[in-house]
Amino acid sequence: MNHSSDTWILAAQCPSRLGTVDVVTRFLKEQRCYITEQQSFDDRLSQRFFIRTAFHPEAGGFDADAFQAEFTARAAEFDMTFELASPGQLTPVVIMVSKADHCLNDLLYRYRTGQLPIEIRAVVSNHPDLEPLAAWHGLPYYHFPITPETKAEQEAQVWQVIEESGAELVILARYMQVLSSEMSEKLAGRAINIHHSLLPGFKGAKPYHQAHEKGVKLVGATAHYINDDLDEGPIITQGVEPVTHADTPEDLVAKGRDIECLTLARAVGYHVERRVFLNDKRTVVFAR
């Protein structure tokens, strides 16, 4: 997070009405808190208001519990829900993978170098291939094979790891299994998936090779929250990379991997920095 060590984040939403910005800014002024960054959006279609404010207390001895209790009372008038994130807060996550290692490797690098404010509690996979990579980072690795007959049992094992680890976010870093409706519902709003975005759409085996045959000029990736519709959950962010007639199918695959890594990392960063708000089937994203 690009904030000083004493920066707090207040993220809130409520029905649209007069005074929504004022209730936040006035309260922070009264609490002797200096606003360093603020973004807000009023959605006229859904009649919902969203606000994210970064601030730091000017006086020492900031009492987060008292702050939340007092703001809860103030926000009740607006039917406002909010979350307060403390400085340096690391979001506990579980990463799910299959055999492809590029997204996992990128997340581990950003985790190791402090670029993402996350704490990886476990890596879960339906294949054993990436265990050495997790082990090198000192992370527990859970291999749960899956077949159509054992899907319910396997997902129960995965859910147990998520629950026992205390993970607040699940990252599907090229996890090549479709989650059940039950699992998708449990993880609603707290699981991010990444997939390629090619136009026209190419499904099935070797999508980049299919795209090459059609002469596509852009490859891309989409990061989104999961839901019960395959690859159609609320979109957090997308990325594109131009390609030309000179690029081979292997070039498209390589560029696709790069944009998948970047797009997934950006989405995770937005989520853990409290920049993303679910707005029915859409998202409100206050980008950096």
Stretch(es) of the chain classified as CATH 3.30.70.260: 8-85
Cα atoms found within 13 Å of the Cα of residue 255, Cβ hemisphere only: 23
Predicted confidence (pLDDT) per residue in 242-267, tens digit: 999 999 999 999 999 999 999 999 99
Average pLDDT of the residues in 151-172: 97
* Number of helical (H) and strand (E) elements in the chain, helices listed first: 8, 13
Question: For 194, phi and psi rounded to 5 degrees?
Answer: -125, 135
State the Cα–Cα distance between residues 207 and 171, nearest whole angstrom. 22
CATH architecture of structural domain 8-85: 2-Layer Sandwich (3.30)
Confidence at residue 211, expressed as pLDDT on a 0 to 100 scale: 85
State the Cα–Cα distance between residues 205 and 244, nearest whole angstrom. 22
User: Among 5-14, 58-67, 199-208, 256-265, whose mean pLDDT is lowest?
Assistant: 199-208
Q: Beta strand 118-125 with 48-57: parallel, antiparallel or unpaired?
A: unpaired
Stretch(es) of the chain classified as CATH 3.40.50.170: 91-285
Question: Do residues 179 and 155 make contact, with C-beta atoms less than 8 angstroms apart?
Answer: yes
Residue from 217, 167, 211, 157 nearest 192 by CA: 167
Q: What is the pTM of this model?
A: 0.93
CATH architecture of structural domain 91-285: 3-Layer(aba) Sandwich (3.40)
Predicted confidence (pLDDT) per residue in 70-125, tens digit: 999 999 999 999 999 999 899 999 999 999 999 999 999 999 999 999 999 999 99
Cis ω before 92 (30° cut-off from 0): no
Average pLDDT of the residues in 13-20: 96
| Residue 6 a catalytic site member | no
State the Cα–Cα distance between residues 81 and 287, nearest whole angstrom. 21
Predicted confidence (pLDDT) per residue in 30-51, tens digit: 999 999 999 999 999 999 999 9
Q: What is the DSSP string of 242-271?
A: E--TT--HHHHHHHHHHHHHHHHHHHHHHH
State the Cα–Cα distance between residues 250 and 270, nearest whole angstrom. 30
Confidence at residue 203, expressed as pLDDT on a 0 to 100 scale: 74
Which member of 43, 129, 231, 251 is catalytic?
231
201 or 72: which leads in pLDDT: 72
